[in-house]
Chains A and B, each alone.
Chain A
Amino acid sequence: MPDSFLVIDDSKLLHQMYKVIFSQGTLKGSTVHFAANGRDGYGLLAAHPDLTLVLLDLNMPEMNGLEVLARRQAEQLHPHVPIALVTTEGSEEDEARGRAVGAWDYLRKPFQPPDIQRLVERARAYAAARA
């Protein structure tokens, strides 16, 4: 089954960047869903239980990343789907708070295509280990 991803970020520019990244190398051909805020992103997560990885921006209007994670944890929505929290110069505090509500990993801006590729490989290994 080809990989599918969910990007939740309020920046259209970041959406474009993810499109560039997901059209390269081993990621080519994968399906990517986009949401511009946490609320829409949560809906897309609910609709797609088979996501390989979710990339969730921390700072967003209408439900920020931490709120998405907290709600997901409270409602136990697809707990097996790994969610990486994306931050700008994230502090350890942010990371600790993310982990407390179930963030699987962290990605710090600025990131480059290889960073995403590594994250995806880990997510695939995570899925394989669970299976």
Chain B
Amino acid sequence: MSKSENPFGELLQDYIVECLPLAEQIADTFVALERQWRAGEAGDEILASVKGRLHTVKGNSAMMGLTPMQDLAHALEDACALLSGLPASRDKEAAELLVGGAGLLVDLIRDAATRTDRSAAGRFVERVRRFLASAAGREAKPAEDRRHGERRTVGRSRESADTASSVVRVDFRRLDALLEVLGEGLIQHSSLVDLYRRLLRRVGPCTEIGELDLAVVTLEKTLKRLEATLMETRLLPVSTVIGRFPRMVRDIAQAEGKTVRVEMTGGETALDKAVLDRLGEPLLHLVTNAVVHGIEQPEERKAAGKSAEGVLRLDAASVSGRIVIRVADDGRGLNEAAIRAKAEALGLEEKAIDGAQLYSLIFVSGLSTAEGVSKLAGRGVGLDVVAGAIHGLGGTIDVTSQEGVGTAFTLSLPVTLAIVRSLIVEVDRERYAVPLTHVAETVRAEPEAIREINHRGVTQWRGDLIHVADGGAILGTGSSAGAPRRFYVVMTAGAKRRGLMVDRLIGHQDIVVKGLDPSLGRPDVVSGTTILGDGRVACILDVVRILDGAGHAN
């Protein structure tokens, strides 16, 4: 039924907000139920716990005129009711029916606002009907009795309804707009500070100057509070992304002939929606890798003295201002010998590489492709892409592994991308912002300390040789033809490091990130722009891409 036909069409978003989590809980419950059945347990409690939710989804869908979802929920209710009465029918086919149906319900509700094809619901309802008929035939019990049995059941399992009646829904773009206003406030504050300093120089200390100082400091505190509050409103629990994983893992594992249990903690850990939106894909990649390549076949596990069922752990936590997410499996672990052999074949064995450094090679592009280290290590391909995505978010990724015991990836991420603490530098009279997460050190450049090897500058830094590139060459403003640049910034992303020669270091500043106008295209070396305290526009350097070699052609 379309919006115009249903009197509650305007409430479609409310429908999704209420029913999507319910459907996801239903789907997760069925996955748990399947596991219990496989373990030979009855799962009666689980079966009973899902009824109230199904009932609510059915009723709400009916109210919205969303017949496919209503019918689907109803069919699942019928199937549950039948299975409650017929333990003999609790087999693989029944479990697949429930899990598949709930997954479909999740998809339909998620896409309820778009005109997607919902015919799959009808086909599924038909499948349930056939299943019910055959199961009933096996038990030779009149179907009508069961239907009454089902109706008599009153669902009471739903968790206490959300009592937060003070919650409002806000378009995320409005929060972005608010952030822009805050950014302008921060800029105006900086110009005020600048003005205060000039005034102080001209008139010298006096009572009024003291009061002005206090006013400026107080304003800064207020703006910081505003920033903190605003950031909080932009946060979503990480479960909005990883909540779907148990079901996906189950499907992937099944396709691989494996059984994998997902254990999660910290789903309530909050992250900026902008970060979360870009985190789903890399995380799913890690999870898929763990199931496909990390966890062994059941026979192999049993032979190794492990349980036939693999365990995948997803743990999220907030650790000193950053979000740490750990994806760990109890599979076969990385193949250290294979990585070492490959690294040696590629001429990377110059130094004795210890375990951690060795494992980090699986993130290196070129090593992780096709016949690269990653594949040999039993991790499939594409870990370089995952690492790139995490670095692009201003995050880091590390791996630890023990052969035969398992592998764990640890991601550390900023809570937000909207405000980034950065180092402001000047190159050829232009200002640039370098996110501090990527700055290892700033160094005064002694001309004799930088040598040229193969037409590339190198210098000794913390006992290693690192490349140092000219800022003007990278950023396309020319080369250091004039006075030599006085500083270099050591930038890092993952295992990569490189120095960037700059003219001046201006200082640290919290910058509000603005996107680039898409019509202008995206320069290789720039990820966004910001406005500085004096009103000047500064480009934010895309350190990850610069370290990947962007800007060389200039």
Per the bound structure, the CA–CA distance linking A20 and B156 in Å amounts to 27
Whether A17 contacts B11 by the Cβ 8 Å rule is yes
Per the bound structure, the CA–CA distance linking A75 and B160 in Å amounts to 25
Q: In the assembled complex, which residues on chain A have CB atoms less than 8 Å from the CB atom of B58?
A: 88-89
Whether B63 contacts A111 by the Cβ 8 Å rule is yes
Whether B152 contacts A93 by the Cβ 8 Å rule is yes
Residue of A nearest to B11 (CB): A16
| Complex interface: stretch among A7-15, A47-55, A118-126 | A7-15
Per the bound structure, the CA–CA distance linking A21 and B59 in Å amounts to 17
Whether B10 contacts A13 by the Cβ 8 Å rule is no
Whether A13 contacts B14 by the Cβ 8 Å rule is yes
Per the bound structure, the CA–CA distance linking A111 and B59 in Å amounts to 10
Given A91-B151, A94-B151, check contact A36 B60 (CB 8 Å). Answer: no
Residue of A nearest to B8 (CB): A17
B15 is contacted by which of A13, A37, A58, A93 (Cβ under 8 Å)?
A: A13
Whether B160 contacts A37 by the Cβ 8 Å rule is yes
Whether B158 contacts A61 by the Cβ 8 Å rule is yes
Whether B7 contacts A113 by the Cβ 8 Å rule is yes
Given A20-B7, A59-B156, A61-B156, check contact A93 B148 (CB 8 Å). Answer: yes
Tell me the minimal C-beta distance from A20 to chain B in angstroms. 6
Q: Does A112 contact B (CB under 8 A)?
A: yes
A109 is contacted by which of B59, B157, B158 (Cβ under 8 Å)?
A: B59
Q: Does B345 contact A (CB under 8 A)?
A: no
Per the bound structure, the CA–CA distance linking A113 and B8 in Å amounts to 9
Per the bound structure, the CA–CA distance linking A21 and B63 in Å amounts to 13
Whether B161 contacts A37 by the Cβ 8 Å rule is yes
Q: Does B319 contact A (CB under 8 A)?
A: no
Q: In the assembled complex, which residues on chain B have CB atoms less than 8 Å from the CB atom of A66?
A: 154
Q: Does A4 contact B (CB under 8 A)?
A: no
Digit string of B143-161 for contact with A (CB within 8 Å is 1, else 0)?
Answer: 0000010011011111111
Q: Does B517 contact A (CB under 8 A)?
A: no
B14 is contacted by which of A16, A110, A112 (Cβ under 8 Å)?
A: A16
Q: In the assembled complex, which residues on chain B have CB atoms less than 8 Å from the CB atom of A89?
A: 58, 62, 74, 151
Digit string of A1-40 for contact with B (CB within 8 Å is 1, else 0)?
Answer: 0000000001111101100110000000000001011000
Per the bound structure, the CA–CA distance linking A109 and B66 in Å amounts to 13
Tell me the minimal C-beta distance from B232 to chain A in angstroms. 22
A20 is contacted by which of B11, B19, B158, B159 (Cβ under 8 Å)?
A: B11
B10 is contacted by which of A11, A20, A61 (Cβ under 8 Å)?
A: A20
Whether A13 contacts B19 by the Cβ 8 Å rule is yes
Per the bound structure, the CA–CA distance linking A93 and B11 in Å amounts to 32
Q: Does B45 contact A (CB under 8 A)?
A: no
Tell me the minimal C-beta distance from A93 to chain B in angstroms. 6
Per the bound structure, the CA–CA distance linking A1 and B92 in Å amounts to 61
Q: Does B163 contact A (CB under 8 A)?
A: yes
Per the bound structure, the CA–CA distance linking A89 and B151 in Å amounts to 9
Q: Does B545 contact A (CB under 8 A)?
A: no
Per the bound structure, the CA–CA distance linking A11 and B17 in Å amounts to 11
Q: Does B44 contact A (CB under 8 A)?
A: no
Q: In the assembled complex, which residues on chain B have CB atoms less than 8 Å from the CB atom of A36?
A: 160-163
Q: In the assembled complex, which residues on chain A have CB atoms less than 8 Å from the CB atom of B64?
A: 110
B55 is contacted by which of A13, A16, A21, A59 (Cβ under 8 Å)?
A: A59
Digit string of B1-37 for contact with A (CB within 8 Å is 1, else 0)?
Answer: 0000001101100110011000000000000000000
Tell me the minimal C-beta distance from A101 to chain B in angstroms. 13
Given A20-B11, A110-B65, check contact A10 B154 (CB 8 Å). Answer: no
Whether A110 contacts B62 by the Cβ 8 Å rule is yes
Q: In the assembled complex, which residues on chain A have CB atoms less than 8 Å from the CB atom of B395?
A: none
Q: In the assembled complex, which residues on chain A have CB atoms less than 8 Å from the CB atom of B19?
A: 13
Most buried by B among A10, A20, A62, A88: A88
Whether A12 contacts B161 by the Cβ 8 Å rule is yes
Q: Does A64 contact B (CB under 8 A)?
A: yes
B162 is contacted by which of A12, A34, A112, A113 (Cβ under 8 Å)?
A: A12
Residue of A nearest to B18 (CB): A13
Residue of B nearest to A92 (CB): B151
Per the bound structure, the CA–CA distance linking A64 and B59 in Å amounts to 15
Per the bound structure, the CA–CA distance linking A47 and B203 in Å amounts to 68
Whether B65 contacts A12 by the Cβ 8 Å rule is no
Q: Does B52 contact A (CB under 8 A)?
A: yes
Q: In the assembled complex, which residues on chain A have CB atoms less than 8 Å from the CB atom of B55?
A: 59, 88
Whether B52 contacts A61 by the Cβ 8 Å rule is yes
Per the bound structure, the CA–CA distance linking A24 and B517 in Å amounts to 45
Q: Does B288 contact A (CB under 8 A)?
A: no
Q: Does B56 contact A (CB under 8 A)?
A: yes
Per the bound structure, the CA–CA distance linking A61 and B159 in Å amounts to 7
Residue of A nearest to B19 (CB): A13
Given A10-B161, A11-B161, check contact A59 B154 (CB 8 Å). Answer: yes
Per the bound structure, the CA–CA distance linking A62 and B56 in Å amounts to 15
Per the bound structure, the CA–CA distance linking A66 and B60 in Å amounts to 20
Can you list the 10 inter-chain pairs with the closest CB atoms, starting with the nearest? A88-B59, A110-B62, A36-B161, A10-B161, A91-B151, A13-B18, A109-B59, A110-B63, A59-B155, A61-B158
The residues of B with any CB-CB pair to A shorter than 8 Å are: 7-8, 10-11, 14-15, 18-19, 52, 55-56, 58-60, 62-65, 74, 148, 151-152, 154-163, 165
Report 25 cross-chain contacts, Cβ distance below 8 Å, ordered by A residue. A10-B56, A10-B161, A11-B56, A12-B14, A12-B162, A13-B14, A14-B60, A14-B63, A16-B11, A34-B165, A37-B160, A59-B56, A61-B52, A61-B156, A61-B159, A88-B59, A89-B74, A91-B148, A93-B152, A109-B59, A110-B59, A110-B63, A110-B65, A111-B63, A112-B7
Known: A36-B161, A37-B161. 12 other contacts (CB 8 A): A10-B158, A12-B14, A12-B161, A13-B15, A13-B63, A14-B59, A16-B11, A16-B14, A20-B8, A36-B160, A59-B55, A89-B58
